[in-house]
Amino acid sequence: MLNGTTGRTSKLQKQLQRYTDELQTKKESEIILLNAIKQYQYQAGEKLVDLERLYKQEKYLQESKHYSKMMYYKREYVNAMIEEGKAIKELNQLDTKVQELLVQAGRKNNIYTDSSVKSTPTNSGNGNYLALSHQEVSRFVSGNYTSTDYDYLRKHSSLKDLR
């Protein structure tokens, strides 16, 4: 197998033995390092499980707070509809009284009450659509909306323009 003098053969065999020993040492070190990495990953995973539990608790508290705020504003929205609805009801009652006077004066034959709410998802209703669908609320809350989803509200963006 090896050609040459015995001294050269001996030297090469020692080198081969040294390289074999180094390789064995490196393989042992690799096994030790791989086991250390696995142990570290396991320990980090345990800590991460605890952190996830704490995060979910905090997330629940924060979500509850934000949903409570939205419910507060929903209540304000309903209160505004009730208050503004009173004014619309008064206007409708006045319209009915005027029609009654016109009937009594012989200028009109019938009285038509207009107590329907002008809120519709189509273009009728004077462009007023007061309800939000679950799909719309979901888009707004999850942030998956575009400006076109609420552009129709732009003309109502300032209360001073509505007074």
The pLDDT tens digits of the residues spanning 108-119 come to 999 888 777 776
Which of these, 35, 34, 16, 36, lies nearest to 24 by C-alpha position? Answer: 16
Which of these, 104, 112, 131, lies nearest to 120 by C-alpha position? Answer: 131
15, amino acid identity: Q
* Phi, psi of 105, rounded to the nearest 5 degrees: -85, 0
What's the pLDDT tens digit per position in 36-83? 999 999 999 999 999 999 999 999 999 999 999 999 999 999 888 899
Q: What pLDDT does 163 receive?
A: 57
Please tell me which residue, 151 or 23, carries the higher pLDDT value: 23
Q: Are 140 and 148 in contact (CB under 8 A)?
A: no
Please tell me which residue, 159 or 15, carries the higher pLDDT value: 15
The answer, yes or no, to whether residue 4 has pLDDT greater than 60, is no
